[in-house]
């Protein structure tokens, strides 16, 4: 898999200038493109910037992958388009901004191809996706962390709470809802109910608290991180958003990490929601 990804990045790097799926924007077409495109990610860069050069092939891979999803990736050369970049207060390179119906927001994903793809796919979905028996299983498997609410009617205060929490946390995970009592039974949950599906630890966490927005958000934040995680530049913001103290385990290799992680697992379970272990 890593070898295949490396080949894709190498291929992307060799053909960026010749046949690119990244749209190059200038002051002449920027406003029109942004206003006419419902969702677009724009990289503001400088040709001399080393970080920009490192991002370029990954950005190209993401652009090609997202093209079929009707998600556009674009770039602006801030040396050639100095005034345009001043309008958006670009102070460092590369700066990535998401434009939704013309309105800009900060890009909060990783700078890897897979991370860009996952983040923008998530942005292209509704805040909370309506799920059916045909789509639920695929949705649950679609991301590392997926939150699904189960309801017996199409409008309720519980759904409003879920929507509010989804608006806060959609950058980090996908949210869906099922309005079908029989389908809820398949997932072994009563309505109203909520399950956080995750591709680590125990595989899922079932919520048994109130539908207060604060309680719900606290549950999602705490359960969406591993009991004993590995801190990196890719997930640092997630730990910061959790708003909890961090307990650091310092190890020299993977074997030590596994051994020490297993030793503190019970403590981590007892302190879940109070302290995050990394």
Which of the 8 DSSP states describes residue 190? Answer: P
What CATH number has the domain spanning 225-278?
3.40.30.10
Tokens read off for 66? 């997202």
pLDDT tens for each residue of 113-155: 999 999 999 999 999 999 999 999 999 999 999 999 999 988 8
- What pairs with residue 178 in β-bridges? 150
- pTM equals 0.79
The class of domain 2-123 in CATH terms is alpha beta
pLDDT band at 16 (very low <50, low <70, confident <90, very high): very low
Domains of the chain by residue range = 2-123, 126-224, 225-278
pLDDT band at 18 (very low <50, low <70, confident <90, very high): low
The CB-side HSE value for 160 (13 A sphere, CA atoms) comes to 4
Contact between residue 84 and residue 33 where contact means Cβ atoms under 8 Å apart: no
- What pairs with residue 193 in β-bridges? 150
CB neighbour list of residue 57: distance below 8 Å, 6 or more residues apart? 9, 10, 12, 13, 16
State percent of the chain over pLDDT 90: 69
Q: Which of 15, 49, 78, 85 is catalytic?
A: 49
Give rounded-to-5 percent helix, strand, coil for the chain. 40, 20, 40
Q: Which of 15, 52, 78, 85 is catalytic?
A: 52
CB neighbour list of residue 263: distance below 8 Å, 6 or more residues apart? none
State percent of the chain over pLDDT 70: 94
The helix/strand/coil state of 276 is: strand
CB neighbour list of residue 2: distance below 8 Å, 6 or more residues apart? none
Whether 225-278 and 126-224 are alike in CATH topology: the answer is yes
- Output the CA torsion sign for 211, 194, 231, 138: negative
Strand pairing class (276-277; 204-206): unpaired
272 burial type by CB count under 10 A (0-12 exposed, 13-18 middle, 19+ buried)? middle
**Is position 49 annotated as part of the catalytic site?**
yes
pLDDT tens for each residue of 71-100: 999 999 999 999 999 999 999 999 999 999
CB neighbour list of residue 104: distance below 8 Å, 6 or more residues apart? 88, 97, 98
CA angle 193, 197, 202 (to 5 degrees): 110
Architecture per CATH, 126-224:
3-Layer(aba) Sandwich (3.40)
N-terminal to C-terminal alpha carbon distance within the chain:
26
pLDDT tens for each residue of 186-224: 999 999 999 999 999 999 999 999 999 999 999 999 999
């Amino acid at each position: 898999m890593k070898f295949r990804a490396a080949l894709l990045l190498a291929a992307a790097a060799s053909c960026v200038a010749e046949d690119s799926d990244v749209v190059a924007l200038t002051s002449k077409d920027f406003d029109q493109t942004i206003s006419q495109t419902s969702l677009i990610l724009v990289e503001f860069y400088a040709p001399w910037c080393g970080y920009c050069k490192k991002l370029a092939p990954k950005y190209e891979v993401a652009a090609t992958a997202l093209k079929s999803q009707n998600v556009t990736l674009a770039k602006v050369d801030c040396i050639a388009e100095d005034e345009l970049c001043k309008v958006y207060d670009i102070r460092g390179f590369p700066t990535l901004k998401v434009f939704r119906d013309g309105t800009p927001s900060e890009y909060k994903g990783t700078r890897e191809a897979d991370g860009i793809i996952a983040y923008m796919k998530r942005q292209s979905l509704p805040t909370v996706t309506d799920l059916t028996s045909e789509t639920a299983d695929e949705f649950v498997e679609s991301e590392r962390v997926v939150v699904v609410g189960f309801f017996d009617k199409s409008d309720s205060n519980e759904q409003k709470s879920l929507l509010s929490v989804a608006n806060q946390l959609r950058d980090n995970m996908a949210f869906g809802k099922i309005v079908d009592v029989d389908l809820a039974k398949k997932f072994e949950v009563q309505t109203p109910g909520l399950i956080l599906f995750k591709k680590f630890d125990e595989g899922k966490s079932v919520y048994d608290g109130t539908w207060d927005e604060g309680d719900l958000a606290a549950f999602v934040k705490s359960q969406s991180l591993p009991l004993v995680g590995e801190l990196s530049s890719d997930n640092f913001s997630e730990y910061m958003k959790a708003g909890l103290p961090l307990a650091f385990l310092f190890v020299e290799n993977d074997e030590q990490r596994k051994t020490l992680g297993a030793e503190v697992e019970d403590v981590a379970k007892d302190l879940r929601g109070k302290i995050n272990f990394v």
